[in-house]
Amino acid sequence: MGLLHLHTQIDIHATPAQIWRVLTDFASYPAWNPFIRQIEGEVAAGQRLRIRIQSPGQGDMCFAPRLMEVAPDQSMRWRGHWLVPGLLDGEHHFELLRRGNGTTRLVHSETFSGLLVGLLRRRLTHTRQGFDAMNHSLKARAEASAGTQPEAGQAAEDSAVEGVG
């Protein structure tokens, strides 16, 4: 069984609460989010969401993951699968880490597992570009709502793709 981990992060000049409000305002996603174009559902652990994403250079993909974790101002995690569990499963995670310099680090990641990971590795790797685009748009929206501007040299971002099998 294959495994692929996508990891991105970006520092945002806003509090975790300000970022959380943007992140969980699903109704506003079409106005600002270039990757997750639509989410419907309640922000509560155990709830099923309906999500439509658009990865760069790819068509739309719709799925219905279940929210596994909702910790306001800290973390949100959902898990879904394509067709049947074990074929292509994904666990998507947003984590907000308060930093001492007045910023919050958004860690945005997903771990894919299942029989099709090897065959779909290239397409799944393109998903990282969607994460990066979303992160930058989330940063701009949260900073605008917070009324903050980043200082020179304080923007930190990182992306990585790790795969096994």
Q: Please state the φ and ψ torsions of residue 158, each to the nearest 5 degrees.
A: -160, 145
Determine the Cα–Cα distance for residues 139 and 142; give it in Å rounded to an integer.
5
**Is the pLDDT at 159 greater than 70, yes or no?**
no
Q: Which two tokens stand for residue 28?
A: 């506003």
% of the chain surpassing 70 pLDDT: 89
Give the model's confidence band at 80: pLDDT under 50 very low, under 70 low, under 90 confident, else very high.
very high
Q: Tens of pLDDT along 27-76?
A: 999 999 999 999 999 999 999 999 999 887 778 889 999 999 999 999 99
- The pLDDT of 130-140, averaged and rounded, is 96
- Of the candidates 74, 14, 26, the residue with the CA atom closest to the CA atom of residue 50: 26
Give the model's confidence band at 120: pLDDT under 50 very low, under 70 low, under 90 confident, else very high.
confident
CB 112 within 8 A of CB 135: no
Give the model's confidence band at 152: pLDDT under 50 very low, under 70 low, under 90 confident, else very high.
very low
Number of domains in the chain: 1
Query: What pLDDT is stored for residue 153 in this prediction?
Result: 46
Q: Could you tell me the pTM of the whole model?
A: 0.87
Determine the Cα–Cα distance for residues 96 and 131; give it in Å rounded to an integer.
15
Q: What is the CATH number of the domain that holds 84?
A: 3.30.530.20
Owning domain of residue 50: 2-164
Kindly compute the dihedral angle of the four CA atoms of residues 124, 130, 134, 137, in this order, to the nearest 10 degrees: 170
Strand order in the sheet with 75-81: 66-71, 75-81, 89-98, 104-114, 2-12, 157-164
